Amino acid sequence: MLKVKDNDRLLKLEDSSLVEELSNNAAQRISAGYEVFTIRNETEYYIWYTVDGTGRWENPGWERTWTTYGPGTITYDEDVRAEVVHNISHNLVNGRVYAFRDLEATPGNPHDIRLFHILGA
């Protein structure tokens, strides 16, 4: 039996399939209590985003390292035009480096951006 403390509740996981369903992120949060990751802005735009509800403007070419005690959820507008809002969210993984980049898959809309995991960074 595995016992996992979740806020003020103690969960007893007796079914091994439930244990296997714990994501790598959840396991890291249980053991360490926080996550650290880096976000770069590789676009020409000023980008507003939030991590676990804390908002920041990121200047073009800047990089920021975050330490969060929350789940590590980033939310941002994938279209940088002020009159178009389409927020998307991702759960970030502890220890990784991410970068906002122009999304070249939408050639008709040069204002689309996405957050990419940078391999080997």
Q: What is the pLDDT of residues 79-119, one digit of tens each?
A: 887 788 889 999 999 999 999 998 877 666 677 899 999 98
- The parent domain of residue 1 ranges over 1-33
- Give the chain's domain count: 2
Domain identity same for 43 and 99: yes
Domain identity same for 46 and 78: yes
Domain identity same for 55 and 112: yes
Mean per-residue pLDDT over the chain, rounded:
80
d(CA 22, CA 76): 26
d(CA 58, CA 45): 8
